[in-house]
Amino acid sequence: TGPLDAGAIVEAIQASETGEAAGAKSGRPVFVRSGESIQAAINAAPAGATVFVRPGVYAEALTITKPLQLVGLGGPDELERL
């Protein structure tokens, strides 16, 4: 998969924060909030999706069996690729 487009990331974050959180089946980015399961988001996301993980503590082991991007959102001005 190619590099993430910064404009697309900002647009996806804004959509998430306005209550338009991504539906995994719609092809939109998928967001995981603290208290939610990253694995559940991975399982629900279609191949090629981007799963954005908001800051928090996630005590789980992940299994990824399809192509996707997993991106950690570290803070307002920081993105960390996982």
One digit per residue, the tens of pLDDT, for the chain of length 82 reads 455 565 566 556 555 554 444 444 556 789 999 999 999 999 999 999 999 999 999 999 999 999 999 999 986 555 555 4
Q: Where are the alpha helices (DSSP H) in the chain?
A: 6-17, 38-44
- Specify the 3-state DSSP secondary structure of 1: coil
CB atoms within 10 A of CB 58: 16
Q: Which position has the token pair 């603290």?
A: 34
- Nearest C-alpha neighbor of 55 from the set 42, 71, 67, 68: 71
- Nearest C-alpha neighbor of 42 from the set 67, 21, 73: 67
pTM over 0.85: no
